[in-house]
Amino acid sequence: MDEMKKTEHDDQKLHIAMFPWLAFGHFLPFLHLSNHLSQLGHRISFISTPKNLRRLSEIISPDLSARIAMVPLPFPSVNGLPPDSAESTSELPSHLVPFLKRAYDKLQFPLTEFLQNSDVKWLINDFAPHWLPPIATRLGINSVFFSIYSATTLAFGGSPEDLLRHCEKQVEDLTEVPQWMPPQSKVAFRRYEVMSIHDQMDPDFSDFFRLAKVIQGCRFVATRSCSELETDSLSLLQKLYQKPVIPVGLMPSEVENSNGDQSWDSLRQWLDGNTQNSVLYIALGTEVTLSQDQMNELASGIEKSGLPFIWVVKTRDHPIITGFEDRVSGRGLIWTNWAPQKQILAHPSVGGF
């Protein structure tokens, strides 16, 4: 992000605001980028809603928490969301995500007030706030679109003009390789993937519209990628967007010392009792909710593998097929609490994910 270093004085530090979409798959990359920028001496304001910031504060290190100011914006009420005020995609079934996007759009008013009364010079935002670039411009703030997705994924969508045309297209069109991609490319969505994406779109402002407006209004694009992996896609993306596209790297997080964490102590003892590279770790993340059929098929595959395993099951998942736990007793763990994933994957007995 060299452009962010071009200040009147070489030693001038910036106040940078971060505004991610309301999903933990987005919060964490934004936090990793915040950490990197704070280590360069910049002041960081990480903006989201109260419940999300409380959850993030529980999982980030005290050192990082001390360097980043958490800025809570009141979560707006929206007809269609449950009364318990779910504030992230991890708390909602996919068909309610459009209502979460409407709530997110209502954050423009308290966010504008915060920006007006701050000395923020740069604003790094996600794909969703289509309304934000004009506000930033009016306030004299430079906006940056930070994509958590790969350059190839962004390139599939095409230019902002192509993205706006997607709003008029049929679902099936996204299952074909677009004409601007390289001839040898096979990148395209499967139909079930497109249907899942479509279910989570706000009918008033589609994700294509949101992304197009954010790209058109930003100073430059930063993507979680690197030139060693995506040289051609990064080059194509700059041609499509007609503005700088900067790979910020994959930003892997370090494995932290979890001594004293009872969850990890229990898991580590179990892992220590298995041979090297023998354990299969199954965790589908906070965003995925399996149907009953999918849960049954996954359980059947795990059972037939004969491998020792740790399976992280969320409380909102459908129940596991009857008798499964008895049949795999002694060689597997079904884990329903928060799982320290980095520590699990770093353990020598884990051989598959």
Catalytic residue set: 26, 126
C-alpha dist (Å) from residue 217 to 60, 123, 131, 317, 342: 31, 12, 9, 39, 36
How many CA atoms are closer than 13 Å to the CA of 314, on its beta-carbon side?
15
Question: In angstroms, rounded to a whole number, what is the distance separating the alpha carbons of residues 82 and 212?
Answer: 30
Question: In angstroms, rounded to a whole number, what is the distance separating the alpha carbons of residues 229 and 227?
Answer: 5
Report whether 348 contacts 276 (CB < 8 A). yes
Question: In angstroms, rounded to a whole number, what is the distance separating the alpha carbons of residues 350 and 278?
Answer: 6
Angle at 287 between CA 281 and CA 290, to 5 degrees: 70
Report whether 307 contacts 279 (CB < 8 A). yes
Question: In angstroms, rounded to a whole number, what is the distance separating the alpha carbons of residues 114 and 120?
Answer: 9
Token pair listed for 103: 């709530």
Report whether 135 contacts 159 (CB < 8 A). no
Three-state secondary-structure class, residue 282: strand
Question: In angstroms, rounded to a whole number, what is the distance separating the alpha carbons of residues 232 and 152?
Answer: 9
Give, to the nearest 10 degrees, the angle between helix 108-116 and helix 97-106: 30
Three-state secondary-structure class, residue 277: coil
Counting every residue, how long is the chain? 353
**Amino acid of residue 7:** T
